[in-house]
Amino acid sequence: MKLTIALFGITREIVGSPQLELTVPAGQSVQELLAELHQSFPALGQLRSLAVAVNNEYAQPGTQLQERDEIALIPPVSGG
Amino acid sequence: MLIQLTDQPIDVAAVLQAVQADGAGAVNAFIGTIRNRSTGRRVVRLHYEAYDQMAVHQLRKVAEQAVERWPMLQEVAIVHRKGTLEIGDVAVAVAVSTPHRAESFAACQYIIDTLKEVVPIWKKEEYEDGTVWVAAHP
């Protein structure tokens, strides 16, 4: 299945693009997606934290992704 | 309930107006502003970026959690700025109204503290000699 991942802040700069398109096996979990991204972009591993948002909510590592999900990487937030 | 993410200057008077309620004996507000120093460096300006749709959704959730925790809350307003901000600009305004003052302080603090932990907004500090995404690295 094809996933589109929105990127913000420092993750956008690390990847060098505001979004990333990936083809992954059906049923891939959040944890597996993160492992794959860490391998492709080792600088992600230096961040204080890296969460995944699915449809505007923080996702658990075991959450299975669907092709139509709105997915985003969430580096450490610093609003306020 | 007023929940807003904006690239325009925040009108603090309008935020206070939004929490006016006949049952309120207290209005409490937190105004976050841009400081000229950070970790010993002189800050020139700040750049805020947001995941708009999720940020608004999470701001609303924080407000709803506050209402659950303090059912006496009359009104809640949260307005966050994005884009490029100069020293002294208002980055965020939170206001709540309650019958009595104690809950107004507690609810207002809960909202700003939780916002800083969960809402997908990022700031990049610009110094005279470079930029840094705040809190990105350990």
Q: Under DSSP, is residue B13 helix (H, G, I), strand (E, B) or coil?
A: helix
pLDDT digit string, tens, across residues A14-66 = 999 999 999 999 999 999 999 999 999 999 999 999 999 999 999 999 999 99
DSSP tag of B59: H
Question: Under an 8 A CB cutoff, do B135 and A46 touch?
Answer: no
Residue A50: HSE in the Cβ half-sphere, 13 Å Cα cutoff: 24
pLDDT digit string, tens, across residues B87-116 = 999 999 999 999 999 999 999 999 999 999
Q: How many domains does chain A have?
A: 1
Q: Which domain holds residue A54?
A: 2-74
Q: Is residue A62 part of a domain?
A: yes
Q: Is residue A23 part of a domain?
A: yes
Between A8, A56, A57, which is nearest B122 by CB? A8
Q: Is residue A79 part of a domain?
A: no
Question: Under an 8 A CB cutoff, do A53 and B51 touch?
Answer: yes
Q: Is residue A49 part of a domain?
A: yes
**ipTM of model:** 0.96
Q: Could you tell me if A48 and A31 are in contact, meaning their C-beta atoms sit under 8 angstroms apart?
A: no
Q: What CATH number corresponds to the domain at position A55?
A: 3.10.20.30
